[in-house]
Structure 1
Amino acid sequence: MEAQEILEKLINRTDLTKLQSTILAEIIFSEDVQASIKAALLTALRMKGESVSEILGFIEIIRKAMVKVKIDDLAIDTCGNGGDNQNTFNISTAAAIVAAACGVKVAKHGNRNISSKSGSADVLEAMGARVDLTAKEVEDSLNFSNFTFMFVPNFHPIFKNIGLLRRELRIKTIFNLLGPLVNPAGVKRQIIGSGSREAAEILSKVVQRLDNEHILVVHSFEGMDEISIYEPTQVFEIRGNRIKKFVIKPEEFGLRGKDANNIRVNSIEESKVKLTEILEGSFGDARKIVLFNSAAALYVGGRCRSIAEGIKFAEKAIDEGLAYAELNKFIEFSKKVRMQNDQHI
């Protein structure tokens, strides 16, 4: 099947089969295909709306090509799929650090800012960490502490042909949906955030068809790809092939926020300041939203029996300085191993 034939199908709003989607993925990742053709295909797919079979096809190709990491089977990831245009600080990264401080192994998968003000790699680097770890260094990192980071370009070399295209397109594409589903460590426990209700539902059906243990796909009513403290959040809880739908409200947990501007940032530096203030114990909306999302991470990680219980663990980890210490352990480890690597080059 040629690119033109696939494009015609997409323009006619015809869903591709999983096999056809793998062919599309190979075209998109090919070095021999013009950027204009790739842009047309991605745009047409976005306008039609990505189906479950199409997402599964892309996942298959990406997972085959990615650099894999061997870690604890109980490790988790917290990752929004981006593109929600909310300009919030790095909530999922902060939640990952707090969850790690509570004893859950976290294999964070992330990138620089493409559709946000600050990507997870950006804020960790701003805090002093080296994010360009190898697979072996990631594995060693999780033996040293409970948190590690996998920088997308290091583990997905096939993405090198689409990075510039995504930045030039400046629209959400299928890649916004894929990030959480192609974690190099193959985590089976995750918080996956979605900026739209429709995408959240599709992602839940995709996850249902993948090897999973406990996943929460979340979408807040105001459009955040996080659990919100301002509006209710739709949750799709997936365990194996079962999906349970429910809504959680911040006021039910005593975490109602005051003003969404309190969690918004305009730069990487502002996100760094916000993250630092939270880990130092500052109170306010930023702390509340991190507590809420950390608690959900602890819940899928098996550290607690409910989100309410998880909030108590998260509060303790922040207030006793455990979360900040966990981040610093990762920062020091990453700098040390990367310095040793640089000296051998």
Structure 2
Amino acid sequence: MKAKDIFNRLLNHEELTREETKQILVGITRDEFSTEEITALLTAIQMRGITVDELLGFREGILATGVPVPLDCDRYIDVVGTGGDRKNTFNISTTACFVIAGAGYKVAKHGNYAATSVSGASNVIKEHGVVFTDDIDKLNRSLNEAGIVYLHAQLFAKAMKFVGPIRKALPFPTFFNLLGPIINPSKPQCQLLGTANLDQMRLYNSVYQKIGIDYGIVNSIDGYDEISLTSDFKVTTNQYEKVFKPADLGFELAKPEELVAGATEEEAAGIFDAVLENRALAAQKNIVLANAGFGIQVMEKGRKPIEECIDMARESLESGKAYATFRKFVELNS
């Protein structure tokens, strides 16, 4: 498609098809659009709002132009947040991934460096000496022997470098911020996603239904993109949609300050270690257990009640299995 045709349609408030946005993304990676045209495209779509099919098309374009990751496993999960809640929480999703793996489930965690907080998934993983790789044999060995593999986004989503400088220059977020959670290059069959608001939850609910995977989407009513236990939280899955109170699951209400990552990457890594070693604050531990429990329920296709899934997460953590899984992961990936 020519840039002029695209802009005429967007200015007329027309929607683009899934195939059209895929081809636009491919065209961007082939330098078929100028910096000014890409800037105008991002701005126009942001002002109008992106549709489900448009988002899926851009996702397919990123996956098609990136590095695929064929894993030797039929079923595994990714746990991720959209980010952007500006709460500077510790690495809750990443910690939950090791608890899920310690409970015997396979995990393919996709992540990147922090954008709006002190420590993103890649920050805390690298802080422990892990060397990121796109070597498929090494990735599969990690999944097979440790039960978990880490996929550093910058090694796989090659298209992102074409829009990175433009996104940084713009004074507002673009739809590319919405793509991060759905471009895991291994294409997991299961995902637990945290969203910062209910509008995002509705968008991703439609996205996951069209992708056709088992999913859980969570949002804390007070604006966290994970189950924070600082308020009621909503969960939407393939099987149900429900608002929970922390007390419904036997958890006490957490205080926002108990979730903060700290001021440095080292402080964030210290909290991550404390949780996995079962010596963290009760609130920090409970938050990880809640998120890991809902992740396990997704893996179980909703067949196990959430209370049982949280108990499985608790056993993984308190028995030392989660920490042993992490140590094995570091050993294999350093």
Q: TM-score, normalised by structure 2?
A: 0.91
> Which string of whole-angstrom CA distances, capped at 9 and with x for unpartnered residues, describes residues 70-97 of structure 1?
2211111101122222211111101101
Preserved CA contact (<8 Å) 1:91 1:289: yes
Q: Which residue of 1 aligns with 2:267?
A: 270
Query: Identity, % of aligned pairs?
Result: 32
Tell whether 2:102 aligns with 1:101.
Answer: yes
Q: Which residue of 2 aligns with 1:247?
A: 243
Q: Which residue of 2 aligns with 1:325?
A: 324
- SS for the counterpart of 1:325 is helix
After superposing the two structures, state which structure 1 stretch, 303-312 or 81-90, moved more.
Answer: 303-312
CA distance in 2, matches of 1:168, 1:268: 25
Q: CA deviation at 1:112?
A: 1.1
Q: Which residue of 2 aligns with 1:19?
A: 19
> Which string of whole-angstrom CA distances, capped at 9 and with x for unpartnered residues, describes residues 202-233 of structure 1?
11111111131x20122221121112301222
May I ask how many residue pairs the two structures share in their alignment?
A: 330
Q: CA deviation at 1:134?
A: 2.0
Tell whether 2:295 aligns with 1:297.
Answer: yes
Q: Which residue of 2 aligns with 1:307?
A: 306
CA distance 1:236–1:45, change in 2 (3 Å): same
CA distance in 2, matches of 1:308, 1:173: 38
> Which string of whole-angstrom CA distances, capped at 9 and with x for unpartnered residues, describes residues 274-313 of structure 1?
1011112123221111010010111112297122112212
CA RMSD, Structure 1 to Structure 2 (Å)? 2.0
Q: CA deviation at 1:133?
A: 4.1
After superposing the two structures, state which structure 1 stretch, 172-181 or 52-61, moved more.
Answer: 172-181
> Which string of whole-angstrom CA distances, capped at 9 and with x for unpartnered residues, describes residues 115-173 of structure 1?
33221111101122222342221112111111110111212222222233333336432
Structure 1: where are the runs of 5+ without partners? 336-345
Q: Which residue of 2 aligns with 1:124?
A: 125
Q: TM-score, normalised by structure 1?
A: 0.89
Tell whether 2:111 aligns with 1:110.
Answer: yes
CA distance 1:111–1:170, change in 2 (3 Å): farther
Preserved CA contact (<8 Å) 2:88 2:116: no
Preserved CA contact (<8 Å) 2:26 2:65: no
Q: Which residue of 1 aligns with 2:46?
A: 46
CA distance in 2, matches of 1:8, 1:223: 36
After superposing the two structures, state which structure 1 stretch, 10-19 or 263-272, moved more.
Answer: 10-19
Within-5 A mapping of 1:58-73: 58-71=58-71, 72-73=73-74
Tell whether 2:183 aligns with 1:187.
Answer: no
Letter in 1 for 2:206: K
Preserved CA contact (<8 Å) 1:76 1:106: yes
Q: CA deviation at 1:15?
A: 2.7
- SS for the counterpart of 1:209 is helix
Within-5 A mapping of 1:213-252: 214-238=214-238, 244-252=240-248
Structure 2: where are the runs of 5+ without partners? none
Letter in 1 for 2:260: R
